Amino acid sequence: MKIRGLNTVLFHLLILMAMQSIIVLSSCPNGWVKWRQSCYILLPEKMNWVQAEAACKRPGSNLIVPDSREENQFIYEWAVKGNDGMWIGCTDAAQEGVWLCGGQPARFTNWNHGSPRNDMDLNCARMTIYSGGWSDNSKCSNISTKIAACEMPVPIVPIYHTLLGPDGRVSQYCPLNHVIDNLAVEGVIVCGWACTSDPRCRSFNIWQSSEKEKKCQLNNVTSIEEDNNTDSKDTEGCVYFEL
């Protein structure tokens, strides 16, 4: 019993040491494309604008928004050219005719001739195959789907954090029923990279099955987003982190 307790203490000590280290990234996570000071990733499947906006919405990441003619051209060449258009994070759903991009007044626009239209049913923008011009001729929740991409700044700050319980210990209340992937990894940093690389990932658990074996569980929720935390349990050998 004492040996088991000692292993648990050592496990938590190693976790805390990892969290006290300064984790600074100078490049994009695996699978993301870097352009200047931003990282981009295509979502794995086509969807409508509402679904795409929700898929990209996590700390530091949003549905892609071109902020300059140069960035617009990069996005067009990288993803749109040869496809049937791509959603961008611009909408006038809150107030007809007032277009917000990423929740802010647009710093740059590239509307096609005749767009945007004064139509209460057409509230979300897409980049078209016509030299990267923008159009609003689609409904946000239309059954017609398009490709979409997420964007975030090149990470230069710690990419995740853990929570402490009332007793000061690292939280072991781990989500159990929101798994998007299970990976065999060597430690916390690699698991954190895996979560950052997947736009669906909101948090991750590290499972310590033995002194040498660890499992990385990626989740699509955080502890706050869970319904009344009914799916989280205080589980020995599990430590919880979130972005």
The pLDDT value recorded for residue 3 is 44
Structure-block tokens of residue 98 = 């007032």
pLDDT at residue 39 in the model: 95
The pLDDT score that the predictor gives to residue 229 is 59
**Which of 3.40.50.720, 3.40.50.261, 3.40.50.360, 3.10.100.10 would CATH assign to domain 33-153?**
3.10.100.10
* pLDDT on residue 112: 95
Contacts of 7 (CB under 8 A, 6+ apart): 211
C-alpha 96/C-alpha 18 separation (Å) is 49
User: Is residue 112 within a helix (H) or strand (E), and if so which, with residue range?
Assistant: none
3-state DSSP assignment of residue 221: coil
**By the 8 A CB rule, do 178 and 221 touch?**
yes
The beta-strand segments (E) located in 38-190 are: 38-42, 62-63, 86-91, 100-101, 104-105, 124-127, 134-138, 149-153, 161-162, 173-175, 179-184
- Distance in angstroms (rounded) separating the CA atoms of residues 31 and 29: 6
Are 125 and 85 in contact, with CB atoms under 8 Å apart? no
pLDDT at position 164 is: 76
What residue segments make up the domains of the chain, in order of their start?
10-25+158-242, 33-153
Fold type of domain 10-25+158-242 = Hepatocyte Growth Factor (3.50.4)
pLDDT averaged per 10 residues, the chain (length 243): 47 46 62 94 94 90 96 96 92 93 94 89 92 89 91 80 75 82 83 88 84 82 71 78 86
Provide the whole-model pTM: 0.73
Contact yes or no for 198/181 (Cβ under 8 A): yes
pLDDT at 173: 77
Task: Specify the residue for token string 């981009």.
Answer: 40
Task: Please give the pLDDT value at position 29.
Answer: 87
DSSP label of 80: I
